Amino acid sequence: MSDRLQKVMSQHGVASRRQAEKLIAEGRVMVNGTVATIGQSVDLAHDEVVVDGVTLTATTGELIYLMLNKPCGFLSTVRDDRDRRTVMSLVSDVGVRVFPVGRLDLDTEGLLLFTNDGDFANILMHPSFEVEKTYEVHVVGDARQAFKLLRGSFEIDDRVVQAVNVELVSYSEHGGVIRITIKEGRNRQIRRMCSRCGVSVRSLKRVSIGLLNLGELELGKWRFLSENEVKGVAHGNKPIL
């Protein structure tokens, strides 16, 4: 049965639908020997789809869901044309091809999800689902004043954004730790918000996505999501009783 190319790519663990569209737009996807177009319909039973020289097979295999505690210094991408380190090297022992859901900046650590289930990735990434993400921010400067200002609204990339929740965890005369929960995902949003509040970010760590919490997972390690965690995402990040 035929389906849109970006959907087929996401279902086969190549990338999320949004990332798949980018690969197609960059001319890195071929269908039957011809450069593919976004929205093109394909059927792997009859069509040959090649992404960066790798041919997709008609079988999807087992659906996999996992979380990684990403260290700083790794790009949140499947591959990099400048041969920089990517998060894929940290999950190379999974045994199944997966892709990162969303991204964390090179200098940000913490919770990053991986899957080969495009629908699961779409629930977490699409703005309409408004999935909350919480970050632990170590700042330098007046943390108490920043805490007050961070509860306001900000214009970033021509859009007004506002944190869902801001908590002052600790502070000293030199800085402090602030937990910030947001629903948007603007480029370097947390760092830009903090900069406008007069503090600089010393370190930034994502500790939760919806109901999924990093917990005690060691830096650089990964674990599979439990069945209830996966179901919670599928049900709009509501607890499964």
CA distance 14 to 166: 36
CA distance 148 to 171: 13
Annotated catalytic residue, options 105, 117, 119, 142: 105
CB 180 within 8 A of CB 163: yes
CB 133 within 8 A of CB 209: yes
User: At residue 158, what are phi and psi to the nearest 5 degrees?
Assistant: 65, 20
CB 101 within 8 A of CB 114: yes
Helix axes 118-125, 227-234, angle to 10 degrees: 60
CA distance 65 to 100: 10
CA distance 227 to 65: 9
Residue 105 appears among annotated catalytic residues: yes
Both tokens assigned to 153: 């609204």
- Write out the catalytic residue numbers: 105
